[in-house]
A and B are shown apart, each in its own frame.
Chain A
Amino acid sequence: MNAPLYSIPGAAPAAPAAAAPSSGQDGGARTVNQVLAESQIEAVMDELDRDLVGLVPVKQRIRDISALLVIDKLRRNLGLEAQAPSLHMSFTGNPGTGKTTVAMRMAQILHRLGYVRKGHLVAVTRDDLVGQYIGHTAPKTKEVLKKAMGGVLFIDEAYYLYRPENERDYGQEAIEILLQVMENQRDDLVVILAGYKDRMDTFFKSNPGMSSRIAHHLDFPDYTQGELLQIGERMLDGMHYRFGPGAQQVFAEYLSLRLQQPHFANARSVRNALDRARLRQASRLFGERDRALTKDDLSTIEVADLRASRVFAAPAA
């Protein structure tokens, strides 16, 4: 590049000021508590503990990652340089085990720790990455990557990216671009892949490059019946409903029956069951045309609303 032929006021002495002594920058935190106070990571962790039922292994891994990030910050304050850890993750688990919810939290946690600059979450599926004709995939994938820069890219049902049965599938192209960016711009974005356990396993088997670039493989366990009941109560609470007398036991009974049936989708099934109970409650109240409805009436799910479910009907038949 051509240097300009004129002088710029104040241009000469500006350069050497940048090289300040490395210790004592960044506020010079020396203890874990100081870093925690700066980043308010504890608040996020507590929230995670409070809001999410169960998921013990997942929470433990998030704690480990947070601990590493905190210690890394302390090390950096003392001038111990280390490469930024690879934070790409894969979330595997059955439907409704909270993969998306945790991904959202992850973006927050990483943002507070200063590992992603903006802390937003871009959630995509195969449709957003893979194009329909030759030359369509690369710009599409790159556009998504550009939007996710500075935040977390969450690829739901990631195994759909790779379709071995169709050799002309463009998914492979998207995977290659992803891999390149995951490797080269590790401090610009964090990629989280999510999907069902068995299908993700085959996906990683056929894409060893992808598997080796992901440092954290988190497996989301199914919820137990007790945890599901707790989740159900929280959902109701969030919607300003509550169980009437005896309804909670009936709901527990419902869950134990429903658990034995196929296609159980954990928290998602719980939400659907509650939504159906709300419908039944609504039509029950709708039937009583002349009654003055109190706040209690409107917010209580009665035993009858739950008993009407076809899950209770099935074993009798």
Chain B
Amino acid sequence: MMTNPTGRLTQGQFSFLPDLTDAEIALQIEYGLKKGYAWSVEYTDDPHPRNTYWEMFGNPMFDLKDAAGVMMELNACRKTFPNHYIRMMAFDSTRNTESITMSFIVNRPAKEPGFGLSRQEVKGRSMHYTVHSYATDTPEGERYGR
């Protein structure tokens, strides 16, 4: 069974589109800033769908007026982790929302091996299924070539 038909990780917004250019990312950030969101940058090399919390790269950025500031942080993150997944998150602090409202991947490793489906036979003829990232067989920091 093919678990990775596009050869790419599809999580968050725009993940079925070609990679956004920096200008397009800046436009998205600008949109979020206009709505009053606080942007933050997160990275990981374990992109399992259930791995909800990625590592934060610096603090969330409140009180920014222009996308250039967020892009500065993103570029710093890309420089530090060129072969990791990096995503932008927009936090809406409005009362009763207080949650992430936008999230999209802005950096991917050159090669994305995807996920395998592993089966486990249990009592009787029952099967337990789980999704396993091929990349996570190697230790952290060495997963996507480096």
Interface residues of A (CB under 8 A from B): 1-6, 8, 11, 117-118, 120, 139, 142-143, 145-151, 185, 188-189
Chain A residues with CB under 8 A of B72: 142, 145-146, 149, 185
Q: How many residues of B contact A (CB 8 A)?
A: 25
Instruction: Verify A118–B65 contact, CB threshold 8 A.
Output: yes
The chain A residue sitting closest to B107, CB to CB, is: A1
The 9 tightest CB contacts between A and B, nearest first, are: A150-B66, A146-B69, A149-B69, A149-B68, A188-B68, A149-B66, A118-B65, A1-B19, A150-B65
Chain A residues with CB under 8 A of B58: 139
The chain B residue sitting closest to A151, CB to CB, is: B65
With beta carbons under 8 angstroms apart, the residue of A1, A149, A189 that contacts B108 is A1
Interface residues of B (CB under 8 A from A): 5-8, 16-19, 58-59, 61, 63-70, 72-73, 108, 110-112
Chain B residues with CB under 8 A of A150: 65-69
> Given the known A-B contacts A1-B108, A8-B17, A8-B18, are A147 and B64 also in contact in the complex, defined by CB atoms under 8 Å?
yes
> Given the known A-B contacts A2-B8, A6-B6, are A147 and B17 also in contact in the complex, defined by CB atoms under 8 Å?
no
Closest CB in chain B relative to A143 CB, distance in Å: 8
Interface of A is mostly: loop
Chain B residues with CB under 8 A of A1: 19, 108, 110
> Given the known A-B contacts A146-B70, A146-B73, A147-B69, are A2 and B64 also in contact in the complex, defined by CB atoms under 8 Å?
no
Chain B residues with CB under 8 A of A118: 65-66
Closest CB in chain B relative to A19 CB, distance in Å: 15
Rounded to whole angstroms, the CA-CA distance of A132 and B110 in the bound complex is 40
The chain A residue sitting closest to B10, CB to CB, is: A4
Instruction: Verify A147–B65 contact, CB threshold 8 A.
Output: yes
Rounded to whole angstroms, the CA-CA distance of A149 and B5 in the bound complex is 41
Instruction: Verify A117–B112 contact, CB threshold 8 A.
Output: no
The chain A residue sitting closest to B5, CB to CB, is: A5
Instruction: Verify B7–A5 contact, CB threshold 8 A.
Output: yes
The chain A residue sitting closest to B58, CB to CB, is: A139
The chain A residue sitting closest to B9, CB to CB, is: A2
Closest CB in chain A relative to B64 CB, distance in Å: 6
Closest CB in chain A relative to B83 CB, distance in Å: 12
Chain A residues with CB under 8 A of B70: 146
The chain B residue sitting closest to A118, CB to CB, is: B65
Chain A residues with CB under 8 A of B59: 143
Rounded to whole angstroms, the CA-CA distance of A147 and B18 in the bound complex is 30
Closest CB in chain B relative to A116 CB, distance in Å: 9
Instruction: Verify A4–B61 contact, CB threshold 8 A.
Output: no
Chain B residues with CB under 8 A of A6: 6
Rounded to whole angstroms, the CA-CA distance of A5 and B5 in the bound complex is 8
Chain A residues with CB under 8 A of B6: 4-6
List 18 additional contacts besides A120-B65, A145-B69, A189-B68; criterion CB under 8 Å: A1-B19, A2-B7, A4-B7, A4-B17, A5-B6, A6-B6, A11-B18, A142-B72, A145-B72, A146-B69, A147-B63, A147-B64, A147-B65, A150-B66, A150-B69, A151-B66, A188-B66, A188-B68
The chain B residue sitting closest to A181, CB to CB, is: B72
Rounded to whole angstroms, the CA-CA distance of A250 and B103 in the bound complex is 66
Chain A residues with CB under 8 A of B111: 2
With beta carbons under 8 angstroms apart, the residue of B66, B67, B108 that contacts A2 is B108
Chain B residues with CB under 8 A of A148: 69
